[in-house]
């Protein structure tokens, strides 16, 4: 039994995308974005009260990078992971985990632009710094993708992890100045697995705008 605890437009989206790409049977439980994730029942699944949490044959895994590694090891025939000792293993791990570097900046900007309820709480300095840090991350992806269709020799969970992080980060930093990244992003987001991981039609979106520019200092 595979059950994913999920909320749209969060890091659990990368776990949902991966499950869709694996082509396995699974159940999705959409958690309400409220204090219910602080309940004892949910804290037994994720002790910090966040998504994702993955129930896998009686075991609970609650960190998105760990979920990616475990699922790719459990379902190796899908070819989305890289085996220990394999030529691409180190690069695969680097890019799977680089998704978190990107996500920490987009999370900070989500807080600044979306979560804080009063303008006096927001910082134009943080907005500008974190947007610039996202652009540096985009630059690293751009450099990697020059002459490549994917981050490794073939599509893998590394593209899923980084692609989901870019999906979120596009709300705060433009990808258009990075042609290789833009072409790669268009390529991977055409995949049915990505489309199936998007919020359902009519669902509330975390983001009221497509793009949030930093406030002037």
Domain endpoint, select from 50, 78, 106: 78
In this prediction, residue 47 carries a pLDDT of: 86
By CB atoms closer than 10 A (0-12, 13-18, 19+), residue 187 is: middle
In a domain, 14, yes or no: yes
Residue 152 within any structural domain of the chain = yes
Q: Are 109 and 130 in contact (CB under 8 A)?
A: yes
- Read off the pLDDT of residues 87-110 as tens digits, 9 standing for 90 and up: 999 999 999 999 999 999 999 999
Q: Look at residue 108 and tell me if it is in a domain.
A: yes
Low-confidence ranges of the chain (pLDDT < 70): none
The alpha-helical segments, DSSP class H, found in 2-63 are 12-22, 40-43
Is 170 part of a structural domain of the chain? yes
Residue 131 lies in a domain: yes
Q: In terms of domains, do 63 and 93 share one? A: no
CATH at 12: 3.40.30.10
Same domain, 111 and 169: yes
pLDDT at 52: 96
Identify whether residues 138 and 64 lie together within a single domain: no
Cis, peptide link before residue 52, omega less than 30° from 0: yes
Predicted pLDDT of residue 11: 94
Structural domain harbouring 16: 2-78
Q: Are residues 42 and 101 in the same domain?
A: no
Q: Are 188 and 93 within one domain?
A: yes
Number of domains in the chain: 2
> Given 32, 52, 78, which residue is the final one in a domain?
78
CATH number reported for the structural domain that contains residue 121 in this entry:
1.20.1050.10
Residue 56 host element (H or E):
strand 53-56
Does residue 211 form part of some domain?
no
**Shared domain check, 97 and 50:** no
Predicted TM-score (pTM) of this structure = 0.95
23 and 106, same domain (yes or no): no
Which backbone phi and psi does 6 adopt, to 5 degrees? -145, 150
9: in domain: yes
Residue at 203 is within a domain: no
Task: Report the alpha-carbon distance of residue 166 to residue 177 in Å, rounded.
Answer: 14
């Amino acid at each position: 039994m595979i059950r994913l605890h999920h909320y749209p437009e969060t890091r659990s989206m990368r776990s949902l995308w991966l499950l869709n790409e694996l082509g396995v049977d699974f159940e999705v439980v959409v958690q309400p974005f409220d204090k219910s994730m602080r309940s004892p029942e949910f804290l037994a699944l994720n002790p910090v009260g966040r998504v994702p949490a993955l129930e896998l044959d009686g075991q609970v895994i609650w960190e998105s990078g760990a979920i990616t590694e475990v699922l790719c090891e459990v379902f190796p025939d899908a070819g989305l992971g890289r085996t220990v000792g394999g030529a691409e293993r180190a690069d695969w791990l680097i890019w799977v985990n680089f998704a978190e570097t990107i996500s920490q900046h987009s999370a900070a900007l989500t807080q600044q632009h979306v979560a804080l309820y009063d303008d006096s709480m927001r910082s134009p300095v943080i907005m500008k710094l974190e947007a610039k840090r996202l652009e540096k991350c985009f630059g690293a992806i751009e450099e990697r993708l020059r002459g490549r269709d994917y981050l490794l020799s073939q599509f893998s969970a590394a593209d899923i992890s980084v692609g989901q992080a870019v999906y979120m980060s596009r709300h705060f930093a433009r990808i258009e100045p990075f042609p290789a990244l833009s072409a790669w992003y268009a390529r991977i987001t055409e995949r049915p697995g990505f489309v199936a991981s998007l919020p359902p039609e009519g669902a509330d979106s975390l983001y009221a705008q497509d793009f949030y520019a930093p406030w002037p200092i």
